Structure 1
Amino acid sequence: MYFLRAAVVAIALQLSGVANGDVIEDRILAKIYGVATKGKTNGVVPTPTGWPEYVIGTATSYTYQSSGAWTTGFFPGTLWLLYQRSLTKTLKVSSVELLSLARTWQAPLRANKDRTDTHDLGFMIHDCFGWDAILTGNATARQTVHDAAIALSQRYNSVTKTIRSWGSISDTGSFTVIIDNMMNLGMLYWAAQQFGNTTLSDIATSHATTTMNNHFRTDGSTWHVLNYNQVTGAVTAKYTNQGYSDSSTWARGQAWAIYGMVSAYRWTKNTAFLDTAIKAADYFLAGLPADGVPYWDFNAPVTGLRDTSAGTIVASGLLYLVEQAPAYKDKYLQRAIDLIDDTIALSQSPPAVYTASPFAVSDIGFNAFLMNGTIDNNPAKTHTAASSNTGLVYGDYYLIEAQNRLLGMGLLAA
């Protein structure tokens, strides 16, 4: 019953149609492998000095960020996700090589593990070192995640009952929390389980509870940014930074909210978190256009700007929900598959030029697999070409993660 829409199939569902499963899988692999091995000399990949973040629509190559940027964990994370897939099915690049590439790309990022000046350590550390620890049991990776969780916990405020998003931990002014911060709680929960550190899980649950109570509107939509008074804990402002307006719903923020609440439910089994995720997911799905790919903001005038990253985050989040609450399989499994199908159909970039055996990429072309991402289109800001119609490293990351979830459910051909 789940293998519908044969004309546009998800990766590796092995149905007939323009998006033949193995062809799409190889195209994704070619993009990531081509970027990962760029500059390879005598079989050795050089130590990275920059990490892919976005490809503007008028270019082909990634713009790279320094090791301290919030997005740095996603590219090594995609390599870990391909490694995870290679343990179940045969890819054109071996598990051994994917493991080596993932560790090469993540190694310089370990220096971020003790930072207390950012709330994004889950993205930066857990999305790569966390996979290393989970998939290989590597002790150094495991300790790295715990160190990062300890550092993140320093940004928690017992009055606001949240983790600060922006600013220094010593700031005494407005205490700012963005919905994105829900995505960093998984690292706290995992580290708490691994090391028996209940302080970390208590902080995560406190933040999730406060976010549930304050960031969500009655219809299941979300505000992007909240300010708190550090003396009273009261909310003093609700607004957007990357969405259309303070009263609108930024699509990727809504995606972070859905996925983050599912994660909180996974670790606590608090049904209030699950109910919140479901209401937010229903809002997101109800707001999709006919072609199934979200616009960058649900309430903005239709401008043609999409955000494929919001769609892939929700696809993975819905499959995560089905994993944790199987009673919702009939409601959400096909919708997640549809999001994957529709996103690939509308936004697949031109394929790289590669040979199949031995696997080699001669021309990556547009470096990201997906196009039509939007970082930011807030009309109050001055935007660059990077802001919209881009390829986003995290859009590809969550697409691959979603596909791996389907593989784990037995719905992708091994």
Structure 2
Amino acid sequence: MKTSFKISLIASSIAVMLSACSSTDLNKTEKQTAAVDTVWPTDTVAFCDAALDKAATQYGYFSTDYPDPTNIPRSYTNGSTRMAGKLDWTSGFVAGSYWYLYEHTQSDQWLNLASKWTKALEDQQFNRRTHDIGFIMNNSFGNGLRLTGDQSYSPVILNSAKTLMERYNPDLGLTYSWSWGAWEFPVIIDNMMNLELLFEAAKASGDKRFYDAAVSHATVTMKHHYREDYSSYHLVNYNRTTGIPNWKQTFQGIADDSSWARGQAWGAYGYTMVYRYTQDEKFLNQAKNIVNYLLTHKNMPDDLVPYFDYNAPEYPEVDNVRDSSAASLLASSLLELATYVGDQEAQRYIDAATTMLRSLSTPSYLATKGENGNFLLKQATGHYPAGDEVNGALNYGDYYYLEALNRCKATL
């Protein structure tokens, strides 16, 4: 039985937008590269390289539009940009996107921007208001350390992990998520992504407590968040005393028993990442099973850019609302997962990721100069049931799109 329909605001139908192309390089004119939206290179690596060139052009305009690293562009919907402060869970994604553009171009332009936007977040290493300190600090300082070797970033990452550990309950073996609402001990599937910060801190410090906490959280989440078909609830509310779930729900999806698309992608990415650090086959198998559920889902569109919830087509009240951020996130996880499996399985993941990235790089999803607040991806969905950030742009959608393109270049 499906749970009751939870949507409180029905978004308007999504129109397919066709637009002219912008340049693929800051030194080229738009006229010279006008065909790039429709004629990408056939070779996958060359395509990813060209898509990154185009992204660098678009983000050149983006960085001009949003010059203040303490006033962070979070999303763009209905013709206006939503800005966020440093405390917001999305505050590290723009810095991270600049790091990915630096990784691609090796240009001082992007290095300077990435460094500036990272430095602005330094005080967030002590942000106790969110479990998403991993998103904030690992995407900024973590990428900075990885790409530059700047050891001044390392203590910031360690302090950030210590802050996150204050939310860890060793009796339950879990890190709690939201510090608001009526839940007793809420854990959302998104929290899998913050484990990377703990793994990095364990590697840097040699303190096994970080590692053990991350492994425990992933293990307990695997037990209680996942259904038999390897779909996931969004949130599990645990009893603080017994560790037994009080209830399970899907807060940002269409129904409690539905498959919220970005949540499924958080899980696929999270368990792939946990396998990277642990080499434990149970986590690899979990990632593979989640991915198989998604790639074979009856409601996965042909272009592999999912609806905001995989069950959405079963509800006639819901328009055809996609989530490009879920596609970019899943594409990135597939490209990493492909490096851990045999050739035939790897090719399946690479083919799916490539389809997603090529779909996202069409005019239906990829913006051009002066469009979409100069974010990259259109048709992203933040919180559909609340009518919040629907059919627009999300800074984390752009971040994972860039990450996936860089992974494509590095691994294929």
Query: How does the TM-score come out when normalised to structure 1?
Result: 0.84
Distance apart, 1:117 and its partner CA:
2.3
The one of 147, 164, 174 equivalent to 1:135 is 147
Structure 1: gaps spanning 5 or more residues? 1-7, 40-45, 88-94, 353-362
Greater shift, 369-378 or 20-29, is seen at 20-29
Alignment of 1:183-194 (within 5 A): 183-194=193-204
Match of 1:38 in 2: 65
Q: Which residue of 1 is the match for residue 42 of structure 2? A: 15
CA–CA distance in structure 1, aligned partners of residues 249 and 36 of structure 2: 38
Partner of 2:127: 115
Q: Does 1:176 align with 2:192?
A: no
Quick one: which amino acid aligns to residue 389 of structure 1? N
| 1:264-275 mapped onto 2 (5 Å cutoff) | 264-275=274-285
Which one-letter code corresponds to 1:118 in the other structure?
T
Runs of 4+ in 1 over 4 A off after TM superposition: 8-13, 19-23
Residue identity in the other structure for 1:371: K
**TM superposition shift of 1:329:** 1.2
The one-letter amino acid paired with 2:362 is: A
Aligned equivalent of 1:367: 374
User: Among residues 97, 108, 116, which one is paired with 1:78 in the alignment?
Assistant: 97
Residue by residue over 1:142-187, the C-alpha shift from the partner in whole angstroms, topping out at 9 and shown as x without a partner, is 111111011101100112211000128xx99710000000000011
In the other structure, the counterpart of 1:398 is 400
Partner Cα distance (2:371, 2:361) in 1: 18
Is 1:314 aligned to residue 324 of structure 2?
no
Question: Which residue of 222, 225, 237 maps to 1:215?
Answer: 225
Mapped partners of 1:12, 1:109: distance in 2: 39
- Alpha-carbon offset, residue 111 of structure 1: 0.9
Q: Which amino acid counterpart does residue 340 of structure 1 have in structure 2?
A: L
2:360–2:366 contact (8 Å) kept in structure 1:
no
What pairs with 1:258-407 in structure 2 (closer than 5 Å)?
A: 258-287=268-297, 288-300=300-312, 301=315, 303-327=319-343, 328-345=345-362, 347-352=364-369, 363=370, 366-378=373-385, 381=386, 383=387, 386-407=388-409
Q: Bigger CA drift: 363-372 or 221-230?
A: 363-372
Give the distance between the partners of 2:363 and 2:242, measured in 1 at CA.
48
- 8 Å contact 2:183–2:237 — kept in the other structure? no
The match for 1:26 is 53
What secondary structure does 2:126 align onto? coil
Unaligned runs of 5+ residues in structure 2 are 1-34
User: Could you list the per-position Cα deviations for residues 296-351 of structure 1 after superposition, in whole angstroms to 9, with x for gaps in the alignment?
Assistant: 00112252100000001000001111123355312211111111112222633442
Please tell me the root mean square deviation across aligned C-alpha atoms, in Å. Answer: 2.5
What SS is found at the alignment partner of 2:376?
coil
Q: Provide the rounded CA distance (Å) in 1 between the counterparts of 2:342 and 2:40.
A: 21
Distance of 2:382 and 2:184 partners within structure 1: 25
SS of residue matched to 2:374:
coil
CA separation of 1:407 and 1:26: change in aligned 2, threshold 3 A: closer
Question: What is the DSSP-based 3-state SS (H/G/I as helix, E as strand, rest coil) of the residue aligned with 1:113?
Answer: helix
> Structure 2: how far apart are the matches of 1:260 and 1:308?
18
- Are the structure 2 counterparts of residues 369 and 11 from structure 1 closer, same or farther at C-alpha, using a change threshold of 3 Å? farther
* 1:241-298: CA deviation from partner (whole Å, max 9, x where unpaired): 1100111010000000000000111111111111111111111112311232100001
Partners of 1:120 and 1:186 in 2: CA distance? 11
Does the Cα contact within 8 Å between 1:373 and 1:389 map onto a contact in 2? yes
| Matched position secondary structure for 1:63 | strand
**Structure 1's 24 and 85: CA in aligned 2 closer, same or farther, altered over 3 A?**
closer
Q: Could you tell me which residue of structure 1 aligns to residue 209 of structure 2?
A: 199
Alpha-carbon distance in 2 for matches of 1:172, 1:374: 25
Q: Check 1:12–1:349 CA distance in 2 against 1; reply closer, same or farther (3 A cut).
A: closer
Q: How many residues align?
A: 370
Percent sequence identity over matched residues?
Answer: 36
